[in-house]
Amino acid sequence: MSNYPEHMVAPMRDELTQIGFEHLMNPEQVEQALQRAGTTLLIVNSVCGCAAAGARPGVTLALKDKGLKFDHLVTVFAGMEKEATQAAREYFEGAAPSSPQAAILKDGQLLHLLQRTDFLGHGPDEIAGAIAAAYKQSLATA
């Protein structure tokens, strides 16, 4: 059961799938994806303004302009596939649910989590920089 009409959400999904993200629709897909070996960028997508104005464009810039290389790019959509989103958030132990979110994981272990407050009021360039910094810091200490 979803909160939003699919025709409204489809373009928001497409922003990420067109740049290589795999959209996860159920908890089983989440488990399979997040247990894969390697580095994963997981985006909890949303219809909110900070996702539209900052998070999705910021992620796009981070991947295209900052040279970030993840083994896996995956996304769930808050407010749509609620069970898949809940399964993804189980990897964010101790973090309050918010959307959007960007998580960097390695071999299924959370290394860094950006929350809604990290996106709110920040433009795509700032968000791309924050994701790049988190990527470099996370993988340097992993």
Q: Which residues are catalytic?
A: 48, 50
Asked, for residue 95, whether it belongs to a domain, the answer is yes
Asked, for residue 39, whether it belongs to a domain, the answer is yes
Q: What pLDDT shows up at residue 140?
A: 78
Asked, for residue 1, whether it belongs to a domain, the answer is no
**Choice between 67 and 63, residue whose per-residue pLDDT is larger:** 63
Give me the DSSP letters along 54-72. Answer: IIHHHHHHHHHHS----SE
Mean of the per-residue pLDDT values for the chain?
94
Asked, for residue 142, whether it belongs to a domain, the answer is no
Q: What pLDDT shows up at residue 2?
A: 57
Asked, for residue 35, whether it belongs to a domain, the answer is yes
Q: How far is CA 83 from CA 28, 29, 39, 115, in A?
A: 10, 11, 23, 19
pLDDT tens digits along 7-61: 999 999 999 999 999 999 999 999 999 999 999 999 999 999 889 999 999 999 9
Structure pTM?
A: 0.94
